[in-house]
Structure 1
Amino acid sequence: MKKLTLLFAILLAVFSCENDDDITPVQDPLVIAEFRPNLSELNLFTGNLGDLNSSSRAFKYELNSQLFTDYAHKQRLIALPENTSMQYDGDGLPIFPDNTVIAKTFYYNNDERDLTLGKTIIETRVLIKINGEWETGDYKWNEDQTEAVLDLNGSTVPVTWIDADGESNSVNYEIPSNTDCFTCHHTYDNATPIGPKLRNMNFEVNGFNQLDEFVNSGHLTGVSSSSEVSSVVNWKNTSESLEDRARSYFDINCAHCHIEGGDCEEESTLRLAFDTSLEDSKIAQRKFSISLRISEYNEGFSMPFIGTTTVHTEGVELLQAYLDTL
């Protein structure tokens, strides 16, 4: 009888511990802040790599105005080291801790009218902050969409897709070399991110302000509310002024080169950051040159020099309408 009583007590103790509160949830593996040979080794994604399901160790971010890259779609991720955050440092880039990984994946929906027909993923560009300095790398996806391999040399990938109007489109998509990446991603001699400036992330995503979500989740510290941060506008939003829309387009598509310390600092007097005054930007003085160099694609002459192989029709229409007012 004593043995039965003891057995019953042991079983009772075991079963009393088997509840949801005592089960530690399984977490995704830590993101690897190194340029490994294969993208899968960085642990940025979970499950089938081609599904682009981000790891719980990373979070998505969106930009109010987006860089044009031959009509490609982009998925943007930031992975911060455990127990760290981005630190507020004004309306531009926050201060990222060492071992931050920023990834941007470029893809085309095969048919914009029916997303169930899948997508073609081209590349995943990665920035990693190592010992206080940003380093760049690019992963090229295979045809089976099962893996992407580190490739610093660049290449050209033919892509065809059907747009929302049912028209077939084709581009010879250019994956940049590591040298090309540095051309755009540098200020003076230092590599730097372009997109995730706080002013370009300060807007509503799925009904909630993105910066407030970052603050509430602990991803962003040093600021208590999105109201403390300025914002650019969405250049597609026709309820905003024509000038603000055009200046926002210039800011995300051109300013990384046309600023002090940018690649075009010495070759051009244009200064195209959103917060630069119109007088100091020299847009009015250079409007005819701008119009000429954005209106058609000629390699080595058109603006931007790299990153696109086609004219951005909607962007050119916006900028031309603005230039015509000056």
Structure 2
Amino acid sequence: MGCAIRSERRLNSPSAWTTPLRTCSTWTAPTATPAHPWSPASTSVRIPGWVRWNWPGALPKPAVEPGRAAAGSLALCCALSLLGACAPAPEVRFHASAEYPQRLSDWGLIERRGDRLVLGEGVLPYDVNTPLFADYAQKLRTVWLPPGRSAQFDADQAYDLPVGTLITKTFFYPTDGGIAQAAESWDGRLETLDLARARLVETRLLVRQAERWEALAYVWRGDEAWLSITGAIIPLPLAPPDGGAARAINYMVPSRNQCASCHVTGQEGDALMPIGLTTRQLNRGYGGGPGNQIADFQALGWLDGVSPATEWARNADWVDPDESLVHLARSYLDANCGHCHNPLGRADTTGLWLNIHHGPLRRLGLCKPPIAAGQGTGGRRYSIVPGQPDASILEFRMADDDPATRMPEIGRSIVHRRGLAVVSDWIAALPNECAEPDYAGALVQGG
């Protein structure tokens, strides 16, 4: 099939530039720059004239000359047409704080069309190495940056993304006979998400306003997701990942205030921050494929000052059977606990730092008595007792689903069996002593 070419006026300005926009198989580099810079005050902003493929391996690379189609475009167009992706994509629109829409589709970031989700123009799906556990829900993650804007590469911290950035995370469950199915992983690729066999639950949105990041949650009902300021409890039956009878769970959609429980990391004081867009988490191919997402961001002009790839650290790939136990456990604690349990986070007063950058034994919890945990100790003396997971507070709180004692406190209502097993096995493998110094360094190796 052919692919239409149409001209679009940018930025809704009479003096703005116009350039051809191919709606399907080929990407053409813009040949001019807008007469007026993008402004976050605008509530109807169009993206530049390139098409976002649904996998980074097909992203335009700097070697492609302006006006020249990317290789393999015809085959790609045919593949996209099978997904309905050659239909006009939604137009991304930025909204000021006082104008947040009730419907998710009014952002133009993501829409449901039949049994598929369609991303807006320029919206990039991405994946992470070690995901945050959320009652076995699978997640489609996307990011959109305003035209001409970029972030500074950071080897350790979350990227400081520009004003106007929009990040989404859509939570869903595969279904079988109407029953939600728990699974450890999904390949993260949009083209494999068939909504005839999945239940959409919510889409969370992070909006980078001029003053701060703001968080929103949209709950899916039918073909649309609706804004929920106060959060929601969604009862649903969930079949366990290892088979067996389904159990009823109460899936929790966070309120705007509850979003701060994870997203106030201390990196920017008491301000919300994204927690997944880091070098450690993005250092992988999208959907398990070839290439590298950091290189993709760089090719799009979204990252400045990127260091050589040989210097990029990474968290463990949660589904890679060849990852070491140490790397899996430390990455899991970093992704699920480290945003609070770090020297600047909301749990800094506990003295228990579980982010991957800190290795002193006492800070990791080894032979460390709790400062203030109350009944959360389960009668145990130390956060981690080397060689004895059953005697460790950390293992006890991960294994509990009582809201008064479980950890993490928010984001889950059931126990993550594999996460618990990995951390328990790691504790069991620790030498039964707390001697420094080389031992501390070994705890953070592996990536």
2:351 corresponds in structure 1 to 269
Does the CA-based 8 Å contact 2:116-2:194 persist in structure 1? no
Please report how far the alpha carbon of residue 304 of structure 1 lies from its aligned counterpart in structure 2 after TM superposition. 0.7
Task: Report the CA distance shift for 1:164/1:303 in structure 2 as closer, same or farther (over 3 A).
Answer: closer
**Inter-partner Cα distance in structure 1 for 2:397 and 2:112:** 44
The match for 2:160 among 95, 99, 103 is: 95
Give the letter for the 1:91 counterpart.
D
Identity of aligned residues (%): 30
**How far does residue 247 in structure 1 lie from its aligned partner after superposition?**
0.3
Q: Which moved more, 1:250-259 or 1:197-206?
A: 197-206
1:31–1:50: structure 2 CA closer, same or farther, 3 Å change rule?
Answer: farther
Offset, 1:21: 10
For the residue of structure 2 that corresponds to 1:158, the secondary structure is strand
Q: Contact conserved, 2:91 with 2:109, CA < 8 A, in 1?
A: no
Going from structure 1 to structure 2, the CA distance change for 1:33 and 1:272 (only over 3 Å counts) comes to farther
Q: Of 401, 404, 409, which aligns to 1:305?
A: 409
CA distance in structure 2 between the aligned counterparts of 1:283 and 1:290, rounded to whole angstroms: 8
**Residue 150 in structure 1 maps to residue 227 in structure 2:** yes
Decide whether aligned partners of structure 1 residues 110 and 168 sit closer, same or farther in structure 2, where only a CA change above 3 A counts: farther
Hey, what's the Cα distance between the residues in 2 that align with 1:237 and 1:260? 30
> 3-state DSSP class of the match of 2:258?
helix
For 1:138, the equivalent position in structure 2 comes to 217
Distance between the aligned counterparts of 1:236 and 1:174, measured in 2? 25
Higher mean alpha-carbon deviation, 307-316 vs 46-55, is at 46-55
> Is the Cα contact below 8 Å between 1:209 and 1:226 reproduced in 2?
no
Query: SS at the partner of 1:281?
Result: helix
Match of 1:7 in 2: none
Pair 1:196-2:196 in alignment? no
CA contact under 8 A between 1:201 and 1:211: conserved in structure 2?
Answer: yes
Residues 64 and 202, structure 1, Cα contact 8 Å, conserved in 2 = yes
Deviation at 1:49, TM superposition (A): 7.8
Relative distance call for 1:21 and 1:254 in structure 2 (3 A) is: closer
TM-score normalised by structure 2 residue count = 0.63
Distance 1:128 1:194 in 2: 13
Shift of the 97–104 alpha-carbon distance from structure 1 to 2, 3 Å rule, reads same
In structure 2, distance between residues paired with 1:79 and 1:209: 18
CA distance in 1 between partners of 2:404 and 2:240 (Å) = 28
Question: Are 1:58 and 2:141 counterparts?
Answer: no
Work out which of the residue numbers 429, 438, 443 in structure 2 matches 1:325.
Answer: 429
Rounded to whole Å, the distance in 1 between the matches of 2:120 and 2:6 is: 23
Partner amino acid, structure 2, of 1:25 = R
Q: Distance in 2 between matches of 1:312 and 1:20?
A: 49
Equivalent runs, 1:65-214 vs 2, <5 Å? 65-111=130-176, 117-142=196-221, 144=222, 146-162=223-239, 167-169=244-246, 170-186=248-264, 187=266, 188-205=269-286, 206-214=289-297
Q: Tell me, yes or no, if the aligned pair for 1:172 and 1:309 is still in contact at 8 Å.
A: yes
Match 1:25 to one of 17, 22, 47: 22
Which of residues 21, 45, 48 is equivalent to 2:110? Answer: 45
Q: Which amino acid aligns with 2:197?
A: G
Matched-pair contact (CA < 8 Å) for 1:92–1:197: yes
In angstroms, what is the RMSD of aligned CA positions? 2.5
User: What is the CA distance between 1:200 and its match in structure 2?
Assistant: 0.9
Q: Compared with structure 1, are the counterparts of its residues 64 and 52 closer, same or farther at alpha carbon in structure 2 (3 Å cutoff)?
A: same
Structure 2 unaligned runs (5+)? 8-19, 24-48, 50-89, 184-192, 368-382, 385-391, 431-447
Counterpart of 1:282 in structure 2 is 364
Tell me the residue number matched to 1:216.
Answer: 299
Moved more, 305-314 or 290-299: 290-299
Displacement of 1:245: 0.9
Please tell me the residue identity of whatever aligns with 2:252. E
What one-letter code is carried by the residue in structure 1 that aligns with 2:213? Answer: W
Residues 243-279 of structure 1: per-residue CA shift (max 9 Å, x gap): 111000000000011012322112x221011121142
Deviations 1:59-94 (A, max 9, x none): 011000000000000000101111222321333211
